Chains A and B, each alone.
Chain A
Amino acid sequence: MRFFFSALTLVAAFAQPPDFQRDVQPIFQKKCMACHGASNQMNGLRLDDGEAALKGGYSGVAIVPGTSATSPLIARVTATEKAKRMPPAGDPLSADQIATLKSWIDSGAKWPVTAKKQASPKSTHWSYQPILRPTLPEVKQSSWVRNPIDAFVLARLEKENIQPSPEASKTVLLRRLKLDLLGLPPTPEEVVEWQSDKRANAYELWVDRFLQSPHYGERWARPWLDLAHYADSDGYEKDNVRNGAWRYRHWVINALNEGMPFDRFAVEQLAGDLLPNSTLEQKVATGFLRNTLTNREAGVDRREDRFEQVINRVNTTGTTFMGVTIGCTQCHDHKYDPFSQKEYYQLFAFFNDAEDEDVDAPLAGEMGPYLRALPEYRNQKNEILSKYKIPELQARWEKAMLTAIDDPGKDVEVDFNVTSMKAMLDFADRMIRKGPQGRTERESERLTNYFVNNPGTAFKGDKEILAHIKEAREKLNEANAKIPFLTQAQTVRRNQDKSVTNIAVRGDWKSPGVEVVPGTLSVLPPMKADGARATRLDLARWLVSKENPLTPRVIANRNWQEFFSRGLVRTSEDMGVSGEKPSHPELLDWLATQLLDNGWNVKQLHKTIVMSATYRQSSNSRQDLTDRDADNMLLARQIRMRLPAELIRDAALSVGGILNPSIGGKSIKPALPKGVAELGYGNSVKWKESEGPERYRRGLYIHFQRTAPYPQLMNFDEPDSNVACSRRRTSNTPLQALNLMNDPVFFEAAAALGEQVSTQATGLTDKLEGLFLQCLGRKPVESERASLAGYLDRQTALLVKEGKSTAESQKGAWAGLARVLLNTDEFITRE
């Protein structure tokens, strides 16, 4: 019966074309508009507006006027496979409805102009609006105000009738300042000097002193490296070591120490390679983009891995500079923010032509010895190559590889070799195609190096040739070992051949949609491009342009976060519609304005923050605020912050007197407990412990192996370095307790400290106070002194009972006491 009626209607429909407004529009409204309407345009398709609807979506046209048979829209509503059928939820279209649509399309898909679309909602969200230049609010207790920050904070507190907290004690302030600016605890000498410093502007002078210290760059590099998701290895299964990764970290530390303005800092990292006459250091800066993971699993599809890398670069840029969850639009238009999927791929297009390039980037002192050794090295190398006829053999191998690349499927063994070469050696096929004459010296080196290590099956198991190559390889390795080390940096460069970008439909790289050109988000002020086609450099300059309200707010907020444990917008990674609202919007805009007015001077911003009365408040909890502001939104006090993973290590090494304070340079490998490196795939992670003072360098230099990260870092919430991290979590776990109590590094620091104190020629009280001061930057109060003394007595007695001599027992007890102090909450906390 049903079929009978439908057939009847069908006949009727053919007889007279349907009227759009009466017959067609209601179907769209009822069945399609939730996802393809004014507020939401899945896959770019919009069915509430004739012009847009006939233009189609990211996959191309949906409606072909005149031929329903070739209209994808009809194919989708009639699809038998559930995954393809539209609408994806609810009942499918009835036969009548389908017939109406078909008939409407066949009759020309007429869309009367009167059937007007609803206006798209324009964003009124605060963070996309221009930055206000707020006027300072009036406050009653103006004597509390040290700088404009305090006026904003106090105005709010007065409105709520809340008193700010008193200033923290002098000793707390010194420890707070030094930990916040340099990431190290004050020495007992500094505490003494500080306490006796009677200069009127002593506080400011100490702030300036810390801001000039080269440890400032180390302290402030780390949060930036969290965003860059720096690591020393590729990630994924193979997780190969990235020998030159640290060169980028070195650049970050230097840039921060020299006070590089943030706009330059940003532009060089995003597009240093595109600056006119760019310097080596500016290229090194683009290492920012090289922290994306690389999958070198032999069976990987290179195109897919590259797609994932570009996605990661877009998302990292979104989080880092724009503070928006742009990553959501990889697959569909944003659910909350006014970003379309098309805009995502316009951003993608900026990065799509960036290609990896490793360049020589020597540090001072490297080049001389290298150049002196180079002629001898080249001679030796060429001798070996010609003696073993490597160029000839390599040519045979290259030919076999090239044949298999161009015409796969003939020889599975060579095919396999090609797959794994492409995964392991970047641009392998391009280098082969260039031929021996067309390659740079580095390219020749890399290719030959790969060849002698992986001659593969081009020689069909010819044992003689393979043995011959092996011998050559050993000789080459010997020669290579003699050439002085020359640092290489990971950078990017532009490859114009890779400029075509298509929307990936539903975020799937295998479903290319319409082509897009580089472009920015329409909700923000437009970009000014230098050439016809905008580049990464244009994007970078646009991000830090005076007109863009987002970046200054994001950067000001994130810097604030480091001093108060949370930003004025707590969700520092998301200032978009679904992020939290700012607690002090005017203060945020004031800080952003300061940044812009001071030429993006971040050190100056830090100084302004730490000079404020707001920053100097006590961090003690206040019972009067428990109900009203337990989370300290209103900033009526400072807040206690557990130190980040690296700084916990630094503090212990520092008070133990074993910290190696050298700045910058390569990554280090401290002793690793057995069983950690073994976590890496197939026992491939090699962890050669650093020797001597190298192993006592600061935590930020610890080699970060993505599949087997250093456990102390992970136990204390270091991010996993796979995606940009804008704020760390702070957990509090028993594994942390075990780590601090029993990890040999901390035990060693405690033992060194115990030894140092116990051998001092002073009385018991002085020793106790000295130890306490060294660890916590203050003297103990009476009850604390009693706890320490009690422990010392009991511990000495216990060790004697356990059979140790009195001298040994005393020494052991002092080491134990140092260990106790390193395990207090106060030690690992910035008060």
Chain B
Amino acid sequence: MNFMHFDEYRQLQARRQFLKNAACGFGSLALGGMMASDGLLGAVADPLAPRKPHFAPKAKHVIFMFMEGGPSQMDLFDPKPALQKWHGQSLPAEMTKDLKLAFIKPTAAVLGSPRQFTQHGKSGMVLSDYLPNLATCVDDICMVRSMQTDAFNHHPGQLLLFTGSIQFGRPTMGAWVTYGLGSESQNLPGFVVLSSGVGTSGGATNFLSGFMPSTYQGAQFRNSGEPILYLSNPDGVSREAQRAGLDTIKELNEKHYTDTGDMEIASRIQSYELAYRMQMAAPELLDFSKEDPKTLEMYGVGKKPTHEFASNCLLARRMVERGVRYILMMDASWDTHTNLNKKLKEKCDASDQPTAALIKDLKQRGLLDDTLIVWGGEFGRTAMAEIRNLSDPDNAGRDHHPNGYSMWLAGGGVKGGTTIGATDEMGFNITEDKVHVHDLQATILNQLGFDHTKLTFRHMGRDYRLTDLSGEVVRKMLV
């Protein structure tokens, strides 16, 4: 499939639509009739109309669980016994000569991990004792221990992960997917953002549409206040009053459409109708009261410390059921420069159970096969300790490490129970099957049915893609 320049696309649609309307007569009756059947206008002029990808997809939905700040791979996924040997000592200069670190010097002392690693499941995948629940799902996940990125600061790292470039202004992965596939849901946005914890370094740049139309940007469901901005009617406006108002807005807009013949008015009428449907559908989406209490318990909804993360996981499943295409869950504060052991435990305690529940729940409902889960941060953490307060060595943390870290994927055509790639004994560099962020992006697009080199958008005279100029699909991850 060839993607046109958006301006061209709009022109073409407008032209086709104008002809259709002309054929139907310009009257508001005809328009009303079309709107009622939810048909023609929606299918033709809507930039969010569902579209087919380049080839048959393995995944129809993506849940990107973004652990902002950089989870520590050597304390969770990639055991490094050698660190224990060197614990508390500086490494010889030749071992650290290529390291570029944000805060600490290459001469910093090594920090061994006190975590216990054991094998799990049929596959025997190794995980740390901080993840007892994920341990019960290992045969559904593909662990990548050889992730690589180019940036060692948060915001640039997040830009690279989500837009394929450390420069500002490019569309994010969710926008690319929405641009490529449109939206399946009639009542909800195609690209939704959920967040937990405090805000992330990348903020809105993790889900904006860059130089693409804003139609493709993520709709943020907020974790405080209203879930969607301005979703509820102002105080004192009942549902009937809102509908009555909408009917009159529509009458006036239809009249003006007849007068001017401007297609934008037809789109505006549609937008108002979808807004109203969202007002109706969102409360149902957010209402967990009909969920089996066992399900709530499995996720950890309503319990400390899991509630916030669990609610987002459950919401993600409910969105998948309702046709939302791409869900970005952003969980802040994995940036453990200090107090690593304590803080990492807190993060795991809040998220491990809900994460495992999400995998299992999707699986038992038959949704995991076409839902791709991606879990990870913008980079990993160093082998060496960062000690900001010398009087308290127990508060040691780890610095940013872009050259070798771990992420995992599940569902959506990913080969469960596999571990891909390896890093050297100190975890500095990748020794096997390097997976650059661009390769991950290529693989995600591949599972959605896209050749990442052909999903392009023309901007300022150049065809841009998510994977910039590189990226190769990592076949080893796939079934």
A residues adjacent to B (C-beta < 8 A): 236-237, 239, 293, 295, 297-300, 325, 328, 335-336, 408-409, 412-413, 415-416, 419, 457, 461, 570-571, 573-574, 576-579, 619-623, 626-627, 630-631, 640, 642, 673-676, 678-685, 706-709, 711, 714-715, 717, 720, 722-723, 729, 731-739, 741-744, 747, 783-784, 787-788, 790-791, 794-795, 798-799, 802, 812, 816-817, 819-821, 823-826, 829, 831
The answer to the question of B275 belonging to the interface, with a C-beta cut-off of 8 Å to chain A, is yes
Considering the chains assembled together, what is the distance between the CA atoms of A723 and B169 in angstroms? 7
Contact of A729 among B214, B219, B241 (CB under 8 A): B214
Instruction: Enumerate B1-44 residues with CB–CB distance to A below 8 Å.
Output: 7, 11, 14-15, 18-19, 22
Among B19, B245, B257: residue with most chain A CB under 10 A: B245
Considering the chains assembled together, what is the distance between the CA atoms of A364 and B213 in angstroms? 42
Contact indicator A631/B201 (Cβ below 8 Å): no
Considering the chains assembled together, what is the distance between the CA atoms of A647 and B14 in angstroms? 26
Contact indicator B11/A682 (Cβ below 8 Å): no
5 closest A-B pairs by CB: A578-B461, A299-B102, A674-B225, A621-B261, A707-B203
Contact indicator B224/A675 (Cβ below 8 Å): yes
Contact indicator B226/A673 (Cβ below 8 Å): yes
- Tell me the nearest residue of chain B to A831, going by C-beta: B260
Considering the chains assembled together, what is the distance between the CA atoms of A513 and B460 in angstroms? 28
Q: How far is the CB of B335 from chain A (nearest CB, A)?
A: 9
Contact indicator A675/B275 (Cβ below 8 Å): no
Contact indicator B460/A737 (Cβ below 8 Å): no
Q: How far is the CB of B450 from chain A (nearest CB, A)?
A: 23
Query: A457 — which chain B residues lie within 8 A by C-beta?
Result: 389-390
Contact indicator A680/B199 (Cβ below 8 Å): yes
Contact indicator B271/A297 (Cβ below 8 Å): no
Q: How far is the CB of B186 from chain A (nearest CB, A)?
A: 11
Query: B154 — which chain A residues lie within 8 A by C-beta?
Result: 237, 297
Q: A738-B275, A742-B230, A826-B252 are in contact. Are A623 and B241 (CB under 8 A)?
A: no
Contact of B256 among A680, A794, A824 (CB under 8 A): A824
Q: How far is the CB of A429 from chain B (nearest CB, A)?
A: 17
Contact indicator A722/B168 (Cβ below 8 Å): yes
Contact indicator B241/A816 (Cβ below 8 Å): yes
Query: A684 — which chain B residues lie within 8 A by C-beta?
Result: 199
Considering the chains assembled together, what is the distance between the CA atoms of A825 and B259 in angstroms? 13
Interface string of B250-262 (1 = CB under 8 A from A): 0111011101111
Q: A631-B11, A741-B275 are in contact. Are A297 and B226 (CB under 8 A)?
A: no
The answer to the question of B332 belonging to the interface, with a C-beta cut-off of 8 Å to chain A, is yes
Contact indicator B204/A708 (Cβ below 8 Å): yes
Q: A722-B169, A731-B213, A798-B241 are in contact. Are A679 and B256 (CB under 8 A)?
A: no
Interface string of B205-243 (1 = CB under 8 A from A): 100100001110001101111101111111011101110
Contact indicator B264/A787 (Cβ below 8 Å): no
Contact indicator A816/B461 (Cβ below 8 Å): no
Q: How far is the CB of B436 from chain A (nearest CB, A)?
A: 11
The answer to the question of B387 belonging to the interface, with a C-beta cut-off of 8 Å to chain A, is yes
Contact of A795 among B11, B198, B199, B244 (CB under 8 A): B244
Contact indicator B15/A626 (Cβ below 8 Å): yes
Query: A706 — which chain B residues lie within 8 A by C-beta?
Result: 203
Contact indicator B204/A707 (Cβ below 8 Å): yes
Query: A640 — which chain B residues lie within 8 A by C-beta?
Result: 260, 262, 264
Contact indicator B226/A675 (Cβ below 8 Å): yes
Considering the chains assembled together, what is the distance between the CA atoms of A447 and B37 in angstroms? 68
Q: A298-B103, A412-B390 are in contact. Are A783 and B267 (CB under 8 A)?
A: no
Q: How far is the CB of B272 from chain A (nearest CB, A)?
A: 5
Q: A824-B249, A826-B252 are in contact. Are A419 and B223 (CB under 8 A)?
A: no
Please choose the segment from B104-112, B113-121, B295-303, B369-377 that sits at the chain A interface, where 4 or more of its residues have CB less than 8 A away: B104-112
Q: A299-B400, A579-B461, A707-B203 are in contact. Are A735 and B255 (CB under 8 A)?
A: no
Q: A720-B208, A742-B233 are in contact. Are A295 and B153 (CB under 8 A)?
A: yes
Q: How far is the CB of B408 from chain A (nearest CB, A)?
A: 25
Contact indicator B105/A409 (Cβ below 8 Å): yes
Query: B247 — which chain A residues lie within 8 A by C-beta?
Result: 791
Assuming A236-B155, A630-B14, what are 14 further A-B pairs, CB within 8 angstroms? Answer: A300-B153, A461-B391, A619-B262, A674-B222, A674-B225, A674-B226, A675-B222, A678-B222, A678-B224, A729-B214, A734-B189, A734-B275, A787-B251, A825-B269
Contact indicator A791/B248 (Cβ below 8 Å): yes
Query: A736 — which chain B residues lie within 8 A by C-beta?
Result: 271
Query: A571 — which chain B residues lie within 8 A by C-beta?
Result: 460-461
Considering the chains assembled together, what is the distance between the CA atoms of A714 and B219 in angstroms? 12
Considering the chains assembled together, what is the distance between the CA atoms of A150 and B245 in angstroms? 43
Chain B interface size band reads: 35 or more
Q: A630-B18, A675-B225 are in contact. Are A734 and B198 (CB under 8 A)?
A: no
Contact indicator A237/B201 (Cβ below 8 Å): yes
Query: B279 — which chain A residues lie within 8 A by C-beta?
Result: 738
The answer to the question of B200 belonging to the interface, with a C-beta cut-off of 8 Å to chain A, is yes
Query: A711 — which chain B residues lie within 8 A by C-beta?
Result: 229
Contact indicator B461/A336 (Cβ below 8 Å): yes
Considering the chains assembled together, what is the distance between the CA atoms of A824 and B245 in angstroms? 11
Contact indicator A620/B272 (Cβ below 8 Å): no
Considering the chains assembled together, what is the distance between the CA atoms of A377 and B229 in angstroms? 46
Contact indicator B461/A293 (Cβ below 8 Å): no
The answer to the question of B274 belonging to the interface, with a C-beta cut-off of 8 Å to chain A, is yes
Contact indicator B252/A824 (Cβ below 8 Å): yes
* Interface CB pairs A-B, < 8 A, 8: A416-B103, A578-B460, A675-B222, A707-B203, A734-B272, A739-B229, A821-B252, A825-B268
Query: B11 — which chain A residues lie within 8 A by C-beta?
Result: 630-631
Contact indicator B198/A413 (Cβ below 8 Å): no
Q: How far is the CB of A831 from chain B (nearest CB, A)?
A: 8
- Tell me the nearest residue of chain A to B214, going by C-beta: A731
Query: A821 — which chain B residues lie within 8 A by C-beta?
Result: 252
Contact indicator B22/A626 (Cβ below 8 Å): yes
Considering the chains assembled together, what is the distance between the CA atoms of A592 and B259 in angstroms? 36
Q: How far is the CB of A480 from chain B (nearest CB, A)?
A: 28
The answer to the question of B462 belonging to the interface, with a C-beta cut-off of 8 Å to chain A, is yes
Considering the chains assembled together, what is the distance between the CA atoms of A679 and B238 in angstroms? 30
Considering the chains assembled together, what is the distance between the CA atoms of A18 and B343 in angstroms? 67
Q: A408-B105, A626-B22 are in contact. Are A743 and B462 (CB under 8 A)?
A: no
Q: How far is the CB of B67 from chain A (nearest CB, A)?
A: 15
Contact indicator B105/A735 (Cβ below 8 Å): no
Instruction: Enumerate B91-143 residues with CB–CB distance to A below 8 Å.
Output: 101-105, 107-108
Query: A623 — which chain B residues lie within 8 A by C-beta?
Result: 18, 22, 261
Considering the chains assembled together, what is the distance between the CA atoms of A802 and B239 in angstroms? 11
Contact of B462 among A578, A682, A747 (CB under 8 A): A578
Q: A297-B154, A297-B155, A819-B245 are in contact. Are A412 and B387 (CB under 8 A)?
A: yes
Contact of B460 among A325, A685, A790 (CB under 8 A): A325
Contact indicator B199/A679 (Cβ below 8 Å): yes
The answer to the question of B278 belonging to the interface, with a C-beta cut-off of 8 Å to chain A, is yes
Considering the chains assembled together, what is the distance between the CA atoms of A816 and B257 in angstroms? 22
- Tell me the nearest residue of chain A to B234, going by C-beta: A747
Contact indicator B199/A642 (Cβ below 8 Å): no
Contact of A733 among B153, B214, B460 (CB under 8 A): B214
Contact indicator A409/B107 (Cβ below 8 Å): yes
Contact indicator B201/A297 (Cβ below 8 Å): yes
Contact indicator A236/B271 (Cβ below 8 Å): no
The answer to the question of B152 belonging to the interface, with a C-beta cut-off of 8 Å to chain A, is yes
Considering the chains assembled together, what is the distance between the CA atoms of A631 and B220 in angstroms? 33
Contact indicator A737/B272 (Cβ below 8 Å): yes
Considering the chains assembled together, what is the distance between the CA atoms of A829 and B279 in angstroms? 25
- Tell me the nearest residue of chain B to A781, going by C-beta: B255
Query: A735 — which chain B residues lie within 8 A by C-beta?
Result: 189, 219, 228-230, 275
- Tell me the nearest residue of chain A to B330, going by C-beta: A679
Contact of B215 among A578, A733, A799, A812 (CB under 8 A): A733
Q: A237-B155, A787-B248, A823-B249 are in contact. Are A744 and B460 (CB under 8 A)?
A: no
Query: A816 — which chain B residues lie within 8 A by C-beta?
Result: 237, 241, 244-245
Considering the chains assembled together, what is the distance between the CA atoms of A570 and B269 in angstroms? 27
Q: A640-B262, A680-B199 are in contact. Are A824 and B253 (CB under 8 A)?
A: yes
